[in-house]
Amino acid sequence: MKKIGVLTSGGDAPGMNAAIRAVVRKGIYHGMEVYGIYNGYQGLMEGKIEKMELGSVGGIIQRGGTTLFSARSEAFKTEEGQARAIEQLNKFGIEGLIVIGGDGSFQGAAKLTAKGFPCIGVPGTIDNDIPGTDFTIGFDTALNTIIEAVDKIRDTATSHERTYVIEVMGRDAGDLALWAGLANGAESVIIPEKDEQFEDVLERLKRGSARGKKHSIIILAEGVGSAIDYGKRIEESTDFETRVTVLGHIQRGGRPTGFDRVLASRLAGKAVDLLREGEAGKMVGIQNNQLVHHDIIDVLKKPHKLDMSLYQLMSELSI
Ligand code: F6P
C-alpha cells in the first residue's frame, strides 16, 4: 500500500493531533504518501483532501482539538454519500483509510470496508466507551480537566458548607464520572450503569453531615439526566444548600496529557502497520498495555462495559 488517508470524525478529543502526527510520520517513514482529509466524512465526500508532508504535522502534538477538523455527517450515512466518498478516495489514488473517532465513526469505516475500501479505526473519544480497548484517546485528558475543576469547586463548597452536583460528559457511559468520583473523593457518583437510589444518596449526605462534614460532592454522568433537576430534588428533600455545575465542553478541550499523547502515537502507529500488512475493517486498541486489534464489526456489536469493581471501591471509600 503506497497511499493512505487519515481523517478525524465525531466529537473531537485531546490527543487526536498526536494520532494524526503519528499516522503521517510513520506512513512517510515507511515510504508511503499520506493524505489528510478535512472535516471528517463530510469533507471526504466533498474532496477536501490534501497531501501531508513531515512539516504538516509539526508543532501539533501538544494541541487539543483536531487540526483536520471534525464533523458528524448525516449525508455520509446514505449509500449515495458512501459512493461519493469512495469516488474521491479513488480520484486521489488513496488505497487505505485510517479513521480516528468513536463508534459513529467506526460505523462509517465498517461501511466503506464492506464496499471494498480498507479502513482501520483508531478509538478517539473522551467517553472511553469503545469495547475492545481499555482506554480511548482523550479520556485521560478529559478526566484530568474534570479533576481540576472539581478540586476548585470543592474549595468553595467547603467555605460555604454546600452540596454540589457536578454534571460530566460521557454520553451513555459512566467512565468519566466514576473515575472522577474516585480521583476527587466524591461522596456519590450517579452513573447509567448503576441503578443508584435517590434515597441512598440522601442517606449518605445525611450520614456525612451528622459526622460534621462541611460539604458534599456528587458527580453525575450526563447519561443519567440533568444535574439541575437532581440538585432541585436534593434541595426539595433536605435542608442542604445545593449548587449545580455543568462542566460541558470544557471537558473536550485542552492540551493532551502525556498519557494521551503516548496512547495516540502507539494506536495510530499500529493502525499504519495494519494497513501495511493488508488488514482491513479492524480497530486498534490497548488491553493490559498491549496493542491489540479486533474486527470493527465485532466491536460495534458489543456493549460497552464499565469496570464495576471501581464503583464498589468508590462506595467503600465514601462511607
Ligand atoms: O462523544 C463525546 C461527547 O463529548 C459526549 O460526551 C457528549 O455527550 C457529546 O459528545 C456532545 O456532543 P456535541 O459536541 O455534538 O454537543
The domain that holds 219 is classified in CATH as 3.40.50.460
Verify that 263 and 129 share a domain, yes or no: yes
State the chain's mean pLDDT as an integer. Answer: 97
Residue 308: inside a domain: no
Quick one: average pLDDT of 152-169?
A: 97
User: In the structure, what pLDDT confidence band is assigned to residue 309 with cuts at 50, 70 and 90?
Assistant: very high
Closest CA to ligand 1's atom 10:
11
Residue 14: inside a domain: yes
Marked catalytic residue, from 127, 129, 140, 260: 127
Verify that 158 and 29 share a domain, yes or no: no
Give per-residue pLDDT as tens, 40-79: 999 999 999 999 999 999 999 999 999 999 999 999 999 9
Verify that 86 and 16 share a domain, yes or no: yes
Q: What is the structure's pLDDT at 197?
A: 92
Please report, to the nearest 10 degrees, the dihedral formed by the alpha carbons of residues 162, 140, 259, 316 taken in order: 60
169 lines ligand 1 (CB under 6 A): yes
65 lines ligand 1 (CB under 6 A): no
Q: What is the CATH number of the domain that holds 94?
A: 3.40.50.450
Q: What is the structure's pLDDT at 116?
A: 97
Residue 230 pLDDT > 90: yes
Verify that 51 and 124 share a domain, yes or no: yes
Residue 190: inside a domain: yes
Closest CA to ligand 1's atom 1:
11
Verify that 54 and 126 share a domain, yes or no: yes
Residue 314: inside a domain: no
Quick one: average pLDDT of 235-250?
A: 97
Verify that 42 and 171 share a domain, yes or no: no
Closest CA to ligand 1's atom 11:
11
Residue 312: inside a domain: no
How many whole angstroms separate alpha carbon 19 and alpha carbon 267? 7
252 lines ligand 1 (CB under 6 A): yes
Quick one: average pLDDT of 211-233?
A: 96
The domain of 25 spans 3-138+256-301
User: In the structure, what pLDDT confidence band is assigned to residue 319 with cuts at 50, 70 and 90?
Assistant: confident
Compute, in angstroms, the gap from residue 170 CA to the centroid of ligand 1.
7
Residue 18: inside a domain: yes
Residue 317: inside a domain: no
Verify that 146 and 119 share a domain, yes or no: no
Give the percent of the chain with pLDDT over 70.
100
Closest CA to ligand 1's atom 9:
171
Residue 112: inside a domain: yes
Q: What is the structure's pLDDT at 291?
A: 98
Domain count, the chain: 2
Compute, in angstroms, the gap from residue 65 CA to the centroid of ligand 1.
13
C-alpha cell at 65: 482539538
11 lines ligand 1 (CB under 6 A): yes
Verify that 182 and 145 share a domain, yes or no: yes
Residue type, 55: G
Residue ending a domain, choose from 195, 222, 252: 252
Give per-residue pLDDT as tens, 89-129: 999 999 999 999 999 999 999 999 999 999 999 999 999 99
Compute, in angstroms, the gap from residue 178 CA to the centroid of ligand 1.
18
Verify that 184 and 105 share a domain, yes or no: no
Compute, in angstroms, the gap from residue 11 CA to the centroid of ligand 1.
6
Verify that 10 and 112 share a domain, yes or no: yes
Q: What are 36's strand-pairing partners?
A: 6, 50
Closest CA to ligand 1's atom 7:
171
Compute, in angstroms, the gap from residue 171 CA to the centroid of ligand 1.
6
Verify that 45 and 132 share a domain, yes or no: yes
Q: What is the structure's pLDDT at 214?
A: 83
Is 151 labeled as catalytic in the residue annotation? no
Residue 150 pLDDT > 90: yes
Q: Which is the closest atom of ligand 1 to the Cα of 129?
A: 1
125 lines ligand 1 (CB under 6 A): yes
Verify that 97 and 223 share a domain, yes or no: no
